[in-house]
Amino acid sequence: MTKTALITGSSSGIGLELAKIHAAKGDNLVLVARSLSKLEALKQQLEQQNHIKVHVIEKDLSLTDSSQQIFDETREKNIQIDYLINNAGFGDFGLFFQTQWSKELQMINLNITALTHLCKLYIPEMMQQGGGKILNVASTAAFQPGPTMAIYYATKAYVLHFSEAIGNELIGTNITVTALCPGATESGFQKVAAMEESNLVKGKKLPSSKSVAEYGYRAMMKGKAVAIHGLMNYLMANSVRFSPRAMVVKLARKIQDKV
- Domain range for 180 is 4-194+206-240
SS3 59: coil
Taking alpha carbons only, the member of 240, 153, 139 closest to residue 183 is: 139
Least confident range from 23-37, 70-84, 233-247: namely 233-247
Is 228 within a domain?
Answer: yes
Q: Is 60 exceeded by the pLDDT of residue 112? A: yes
Is 173 within a domain?
Answer: yes
What order of strands is seen across the sheet that includes strand 4-8?
54-58, 28-33, 4-8, 83-86, 132-137, 175-181, 226-228
SS3 54: strand
Q: Supply the pLDDT for residue 258.
A: 65
Taking alpha carbons only, the member of 151, 65, 153 closest to residue 103 is: 151
Q: Is 80 exceeded by the pLDDT of residue 205? A: no
User: Per DSSP, what are the bridge partners of residue 141?
Assistant: none
pLDDT tens track for 137-166: 999 999 999 999 999 999 999 999 999 999
Q: Supply the pLDDT for residue 189.
A: 57
Is 255 within a domain?
Answer: no
Q: Supply the pLDDT for residue 195.
A: 53
Is 252 within a domain?
Answer: no
Q: Supply the pLDDT for residue 1.
A: 85
Rg (CA), the chain: 18
The Cβ of residue 111 has, within 10 Å, a number of other Cβ atoms equal to 27
Q: Supply the pLDDT for residue 201.
A: 53
Report how far apart the first and last C-alpha atoms of the chain are (Å, whole number).
52
Average pLDDT over residues 104-113: 98
Is 110 within a domain?
Answer: yes
Average pLDDT over residues 85-104: 96
Taking alpha carbons only, the member of 144, 64, 159, 61 closest to residue 110 is: 61
Is 113 within a domain?
Answer: yes
pLDDT tens track for 215-242: 999 999 999 999 999 888 888 878 777 6
pLDDT tens track for 238-249: 877 767 777 778
Quote the number of domains for the chain.
Answer: 1
Q: Is 70 exceeded by the pLDDT of residue 193? A: no
Is 90 within a domain?
Answer: yes
Q: Is 90 exceeded by the pLDDT of residue 9? A: yes
Higher-confidence residue of 236 and 2: namely 2
The CATH number assigned to the domain holding 43 equals 3.40.50.720
- Residues of the chain with pLDDT > 70, as a percent, come to 92
Average pLDDT over residues 106-124: 98
Q: Is 60 exceeded by the pLDDT of residue 203? A: no
Q: Supply the pLDDT for residue 199.
A: 59
In single-letter form, the type of residue at position 254 comes to K
Q: Supply the pLDDT for residue 148.
A: 96
Average pLDDT over residues 57-80: 98
Average pLDDT over residues 116-130: 98
- Residues of the chain with pLDDT > 90, as a percent, come to 79
Q: Supply the pLDDT for residue 234.
A: 82
Distance CA 181, CA 59 (A): 24
Active site amino acids: 152
DSSP 113: I
Is 201 within a domain?
Answer: no
Mean of per-residue pLDDT scores for the chain:
92
Higher-confidence residue of 48 and 236: namely 48
Q: Are strands 4-8 and 132-137 parallel, antiparallel or unpaired?
A: unpaired
